[in-house]
Homo-oligomer: A and B are copies of this chain.
């Protein structure tokens, strides 16, 4: 029986909800034939979020970790490819911090690639009629910070853990309240995408080779 840790962020930047947490919490108690899911919330705070996630990983010994965050303005589920070693915040985090061009880990590598089967995950989501794609950047805010910290913690642990990050669009109710009409996705579709992500991550040992890049 494998253990899957799913995390979602608390709301940030003054918002009342975070679709990442809404989707993740909907999967509390979910289990499959050969896996069970543990659900946790992360604070949207630099450093603190990484400490919290490291503690969760150390306590639960998960086989798969998928952190989920909101990407307001994106139209599809974004399965992230790479985390980079820099914090550069355009807005404040929930503790009022706004680091600019600071390394996440002074001695760390410039980046970590996820070891999730991201092409297979995207393919499975698309087969289910969901809008999804590989993303080449998780930004430079708390999401990338957590993604980098997660990959670094897993690498340091020496354990065989698949880990990565997924960005999700606004919910329709968030989009409708804004005057610039950003794209959105229904909560059920986001939840379905996370389910497929988990099932694919548990099942697929070796990712498929199919194009998922960007020209720029």
Contacts and interface: CB of A to CB of B under 8 A. Distances in A.
A81 to B, nearest CB: 7
Contacts of A193: none
Contacts of A178: 13, 72, 91
Size band of the interface chain A makes with B:
35 or more
Contact of A214 (B69, B141, B189): B141
The secondary-structure label for the interface of chain A is: loop
Given A73-B182, A86-B81, A216-B72, A112 B113 contact: no
Interface stretch (A24-32, A33-41, A48-56, A205-213): A205-213
A94 interface: no
Interface stretch (A58-66, A132-140, A156-164, A194-202): A132-140
Contacts of A113: 84-86, 110
Given A72-B179, A112-B110, A214 B100 contact: no
A136 B216 contact: no
Contacts of A111: 82, 84-85, 109-111
14 contacts: A73-B179, A75-B75, A89-B211, A90-B211, A91-B178, A91-B215, A98-B211, A100-B211, A110-B111, A110-B113, A111-B111, A141-B216, A179-B216, A181-B214
Contact of A88 (B137, B170, B212): B212
Given A84-B82, A91-B179, A213 B139 contact: yes
Contacts of A210: 100
Given A88-B211, A141-B215, A179 B70 contact: yes
Contacts of A100: 209-213
Interface of A: 12-13, 15, 69-75, 78, 81-82, 84-91, 98, 100-101, 109-113, 119, 129, 131, 134, 136-141, 143-144, 167, 170, 176-183, 189, 207, 209-216
Nearest to A15: B179
A208 to B, nearest CB: 9
